[in-house]
Amino acid sequence: MEHALNIITIASAVLLMVVILIQTRGASLGSGFGGTSEIFTTRRGSDKILHQFTVLLAIVFTLSIILSLI
């Protein structure tokens, strides 16, 4: 069980890093400080699916860490 949990933790961590790096932002760093007014946009299409997958991976990663500590 512990071996499988370690594999799940490592796989979810690597996938989480990849998915986060794949996500694109339509704005540069300067817009975060008030450069444009389009900071909050609605996610659509593949961007929405990628965001939901990122949240799912973060949950799996967090649960695997918590279960390994128990």
Strand (E) or helix (H) holding 5: helix 2-22
Contact present, 5 and 64 (Cβ < 8 Å): yes
The residue type at 30: G
Average pLDDT of the residues of the chain: 81
* 59 or 43, which is more confident: 59
The answer to whether residue 12 scores a pLDDT higher than 80 is yes
Dist CA 57 CA 70 (whole Å): 20
Instruction: Locate 64 and state its tokens.
Output: 């695997």
The answer to whether residue 64 scores a pLDDT higher than 60 is yes
The answer to whether residue 34 scores a pLDDT higher than 90 is no
The answer to whether residue 43 scores a pLDDT higher than 60 is yes
Q: Which residues are CB-contacts of 63 (< 8 A; sequence separation ≥ 6)?
A: none
Q: Provide the residue ranges of all domains of the chain, joining segments of one domain with +.
A: 1-20+44-70
